[in-house]
Amino acid sequence: MKKILLTGGLGYVGSVLVDKLLKVEKMMPQLIDIHAKFEVQKLDNTVLLTMKFSAEVDAALKANKPVVALESTIISHGLPRPRNLDVALEVEKIVRENGATPATIAIIDGEICVGLDSDQLNRIANDDSVIKASTRDLAILTATKKCAATTVAATAHIAALAKIPVFATGGLGGVHRGDGFDESADLRALSMTPIIIVCAGVKSILNVPAT
């Protein structure tokens, strides 16, 4: 278990929401043990949360071996079952065959997981309650013990905090058709996150020129 400072993923709104949660925890039984269970501490507009590495990813990082971050939203929301799980396993296999360690990222029962085991991958692929999580959602989903798949933006954010410099994915989000101000958080992640993102380009359903 590793403690991290989850800063960029909160922003002003996230910080306000966490403040509210902490103030009303005595009124909400499910949040009574929030400090003990999630090791949350208020630190000047940041929140200290835990991040769990799989044994494989932890060993690779400690040995300074290459690790490639992978998103999980494509598993939970991007592909139909059972193809989604097959693709997840196939991508991890390709990463290993090329000499790196795959680190699929997701939130399992409120815990940020960097590297998933077979049961966790299966849950992300087949559990209808899995939520799609962007960076703005991380603090609340962790505090409420939800299970979520991470978008490109959230995966890049977590990978950067975990000191994983490379992230591979499929299509990126961008400017949506119609309203030119309806933009994916993926674009901000690309401009603000110190990480290399290898991808297939932007999704064709978007406003590609605007993106």
Angle at 77 between CA 189 and CA 147, to 5 degrees: 80
Catalytic residue among 2, 37, 132, 203: 203
Catalytic (active site) residue 145? no
With CA atoms as reference, report the closest residue to 173 among 144, 140, 132: 132
List 25, 26, 71, 90, catalytic entry: 71
**Residues 107/52, Cβ–Cβ less than 8 Å:** no
In this structure, are strands 111-114 and 47-53 parallel, antiparallel, or unpaired? parallel
132 is catalytic: no
- The CA distance from 129 to 202, in Å, is 27
Which residues touch 98 (CB under 8 Å, ≥6 apart)?
none
Cβ–Cβ under 8 Å, residues 190 and 172: yes
**Tokens 């013990």 found at:** 145
Tokens of 148: 């979520």
Q: Which positions are annotated as active-site residues?
A: 71, 203
